């Protein structure tokens, strides 16, 4: 196997091998466990960087393994997979540093970080999957590896949330499998192909292809938390803050949205999907989810649950951009995979800092907290304003392209949905920012423990991701930005 052929496998194995080793590290060996975690995250980031530069230079990176009945497991780096892989690699490093600090002194850390690494390996497998079968294998491995993280605290609430998570995701996996099996029965190996691979079947199996699309997207909609399949996500917020960040910004919901995008663009082809008439119903579900998630967030008093419902809404932006059938809306939807991840991981880091340092969980207890924790709340403010769509933060770029794109596609009602959602975003974020900075505390916060705000291992990742969210907006016009990469992907999908 050549080096180019082995690089996708090495990206996946960097976290998988680390995870297996961490399971066997005794709880007291904190330094060894930390070294394995950080080293694996850094190695993965370096490998992803090599692949990104190689793709720019024209290299092809693909690993193939025989699987069963003539089918193959395929790992391949293309422009779309690299967008997701790069986001996951960067945020895994940030979340790993944060989790090390957050779980300091807690029990079962080797179990936690072992499954944490396997979860990221599963996400890498999903991102690098070169065909539908490989995607499904890693999609189900992601379900298995995230369950122990959701129930990590072992409380009755955590176990109940884990049960709900499994019921939803395993049922979604069964529906997805039915769609995968249907397409394999029709077309054999279903490789992800630029422009789709099913057009030759259009005249003879049109009804079956529509049914298969419904099964595939229906199964993926569970992890993407599309309404009404979203209930597991707010329930899972009983998990530790690093797990919440992982679920919302790096792994699970992104896997669902990424999968829907793959099905539309690289299995069916966006033009063929539009001709089949399946895009408008998908857009309708996304629009309903956007409005529902934004409205539900407004009613939540627990900070993490408010952020969870915000994710329900924000992930649906990606699906709406895909379904709107236009180049600019596609750019907005694809780039929001990255922008939402940067902003949402920052918000969950901030929520974890508030809970860890001053035991604040309720949004009604944020009065004056900006004076007690100015750095954390500064990062929170940047990310929240980005979610609303305030320039020059990354969220503005996504919403601008989505808004202009749906108008150019002749779908003005999508623009109304986006505007209404932004107003609701402002309604559930701006009062928090106002209370934190411009009101007096209702009660004294716990005193600082000999440090400026909170330990550096929790503060540094929070600042880093907030800065990245700001930079992604400020430098959006450069070719190496997430927006520049999304433009390349959209141009590929809409090539004449």
Write out pLDDT tens, residues 201-245: 877 888 999 999 999 999 999 999 999 999 999 888 888 888 888
Asked if 319 and 278 touch (Cβ cutoff 8 Å), the reply is no
Same domain, 131 and 253: yes
Structure confidence at residue 452 as a pLDDT band (50, 70, 90):
low
Same domain, 286 and 256: no
Residue 27 has a pLDDT of: 81
The candidate with the shortest Cα–Cα distance to 105, out of 30, 19, 25, 26, is 30
d(CA 390, CA 460): 24
**Domain limit, last residue, from 272, 306, 327:** 272
Write out pLDDT tens, residues 239-253: 888 888 877 777 788
Average pLDDT over residues 356-383: 92
Structurally, the chain folds into a number of domains equal to: 2
**Domain limit, last residue, from 244, 272, 300:** 272
Same domain, 132 and 1: yes
Same domain, 388 and 441: yes
Same domain, 222 and 263: yes
> How deeply is 198 buried, as exposed, middle or buried, from its count of CB atoms within 10 A (0-12, 13-18, 19+)?
buried
d(CA 454, CA 466): 16
**68 has a pLDDT exceeding 90:** no
Same domain, 348 and 454: yes
**Domain limit, last residue, from 272, 292, 325:** 272
Write out pLDDT tens, residues 409-448: 888 889 999 999 999 999 999 999 999 999 988 777 777 6
Helix, strand counts (H, E) of the chain:
20, 2
Same domain, 309 and 261: no
Write out pLDDT tens, residues 17-44: 998 999 898 888 888 988 998 999 999 9
Same domain, 99 and 162: yes
Burial of 56-92, coded b for 16+ CB within 10 Å and e otherwise, reads eeeeebbbbeeeeeebbbbbbbbbbbbbbbbbbbbbb
Structure tokens, 447:
């005193």
Same domain, 296 and 268: no
DSSP state for residue 201 in the 8-state scheme: G
| Torsion angle (degrees, nearest 10) of CA 488, 217, 342, 481 | 0
Structure tokens, 276:
């089949």
Average pLDDT over residues 285-296: 95
Residue 55 has a pLDDT of: 81
SS3 74: strand
Cis peptide upstream of residue 228 (ω within 30 degrees of 0): yes
Residue 1 has a pLDDT of: 61
Same domain, 366 and 397: yes
Same domain, 242 and 339: no
Provide the residue range defining the domain that includes 215.
1-272
- Crossing angle of helices 412-438 and 303-323, rounded to 10°: 160
Write out pLDDT tens, residues 171-190: 999 999 999 999 998 888 88
Same domain, 114 and 39: yes
Residue 485 makes CB contacts below 8 A (sequence gap 6+) with: 79, 82, 83, 335
């Amino acid at each position: 196997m050549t080096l180019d052929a082995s690089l996708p496998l090495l990206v996946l194995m960097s976290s998988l091998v680390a995870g297996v080793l961490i399971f066997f590290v005794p709880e007291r060996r904190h330094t060894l466990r930390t070294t394995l975690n950080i080293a694996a995250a850094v190695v993965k980031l370096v490998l992803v960087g090599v692949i990104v530069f190689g793709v720019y230079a024209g290299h092809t990176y693909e690993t193939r393994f025989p699987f069963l009945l003539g089918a193959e497991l395929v790992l391949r780096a293309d422009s779309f997979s690299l967008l997701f892989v790069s986001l996951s690699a960067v945020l895994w490093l940030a979340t790993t540093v944060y989790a090390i600090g957050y779980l300091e002194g807690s029990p079962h850390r080797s179990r936690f970080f072992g499954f944490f690494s396997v979860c990221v390996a599963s996400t890498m497998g999903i991102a690098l999957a070169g065909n539908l079968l490989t995607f499904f294998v890693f999609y189900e491995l992601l379900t298995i590896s995230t369950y122990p993280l959701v129930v990590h605290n072992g409380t009755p609430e955590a176990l109940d949330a884990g049960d709900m998570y499994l019921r939803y995701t395993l049922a979604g996996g069964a529906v997805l499998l039915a769609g995968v099996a249907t397409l394999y029965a029709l077309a054999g190996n279903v490789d992800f192909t630029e422009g789709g691979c099913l057009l030759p079947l259009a005249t003879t199996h049109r009804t079956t292809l529509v049914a298969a699309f419904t099964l595939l997207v229906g199964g993926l909609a569970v992890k993407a938390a599309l309404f009404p399949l979203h209930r597991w996500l707010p329930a899972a917020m009983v998990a530790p803050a690093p797990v919440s960040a992982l679920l919302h910004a790096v792994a699970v919901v992104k896997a669902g949205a990424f999968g829907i995008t793959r099905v539309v663009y690289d299995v069916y082809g966006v033009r063929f999907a539009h001709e089949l008439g399946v895009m408008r119903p998908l857009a309708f579900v996304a629009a309903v989810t956007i409005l529902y998630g934004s409205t539900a967030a407004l009613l939540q008093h627990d900070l993490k649950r408010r952020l969870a419902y915000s994710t329900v809404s924000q992930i649906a932006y990606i699906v709406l951009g895909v379904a709107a059938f236009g180049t600019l809306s596609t750019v907005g939807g694809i780039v929001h995979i990255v922008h939402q991840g940067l902003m949402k991981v920052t918000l969950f880091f901030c929520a974890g800092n508030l809970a860890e340092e001053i035991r604040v969980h309720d949004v009604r207890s944020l009065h004056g907290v900006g004076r007690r924790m100015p750095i954390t709340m500064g990062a929170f403010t940047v990310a929240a304003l980005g979610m609303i769509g305030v320039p020059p933060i990354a969220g503005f770029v996504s919403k601008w392209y989505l808004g202009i794109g749906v108008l150019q596609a002749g779908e003005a009602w999508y623009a109304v949905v986006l505007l209404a959602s932004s107003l609701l975003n402002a309604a559930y974020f701006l009062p928090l920012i106002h209370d934190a900075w411009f009101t007096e505390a209702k009660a004294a916060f716990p005193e600082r423990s000999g440090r400026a705000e909170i330990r550096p291992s929790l503060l540094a990742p929070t600042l880093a991701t907030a800065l990245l969210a700001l930079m992604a907006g400020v430098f959006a016009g450069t070719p190496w930005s997430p927006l520049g990469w999304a433009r390349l992907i959209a141009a590929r999908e809409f090539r004449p």
